[in-house]
Amino acid sequence: MDDVDAVQAQIARNMLESGDWVTARLDGVPYLEKAPLIYWMIAGCYRVAGVHDWVARLPVALSAILLCWLTYRMGAWAFSRRAGMYAGLTLATCVGLFLFTRIQIPDVTITATIALALWAFLRALDKEETRPALWSAVMAAGEGAIERNELRLRLKRATDTMLFKPMPDHRLAVKPVAPPGGQTTFRTPRGRGRR
């Protein structure tokens, strides 16, 4: 294992052995550089499958699979099953996703929780949705699971802004507009465009 991987695996092992799931510790010293979600996930996998180096890598791998599935579901919900399938497959075959999930960095977990919270937010606003309260609870759980405080604050600010100023068609954040000249312009909700 790489040194970063070994540090995170050891912190999770310490949590499991000590029973202290609140404070991450490395060699008895509090290790508060990162939020504990990644350590909780690794320790949970340790509890289920035993303490092994491959088990420490499971949460990142499962987060990548979850992110691809969420991308598929969001695309299928907003556009069509075919579009969702293409979106999920495109993400699954991205070089960046492959490279950055080889080591124990929680970026894919953060991305998956943000995607879950945003999808739940859009589902809660959908007028045809039969269970908006359930999706609101999922959004709150997704927001709460985000690991970094600055990302949480930005997402909270964005969702609060959208709650008080909902767009007419909340499923499409960018709407294609075909001008008379033939070029397609993309108009964002605030009216700014790019070609």
> Mean pLDDT per 10-residue run, the chain (195 residues)?
80 93 88 82 94 92 94 94 96 89 82 86 86 81 60 59 50 46 46 42
pLDDT value at residue 48:
95
Q: Which among 70, 87, 71, 74 has a CA at the least distance from the CA of 170?
A: 74
Mean pLDDT, rounded, of the chain: 78
Phi, psi (rounded to 5 degrees) for 105: -110, 140
CA distances from 59 to 12, 50, 81, 169 (A): 12, 14, 27, 35
- Chain centroid offset of residue 33 CA: 20
Quick one: CA dihedral 69, 160, 138, 169, positive or negative?
Answer: negative
By residue count, the chain amounts to 195
Q: What pLDDT does 51 receive?
A: 93
186 φ, ψ to 5°? Answer: -105, 120
Query: Tokens standing for 183?
Result: 């070029």
Element (H, E) at 186: strand 185-187
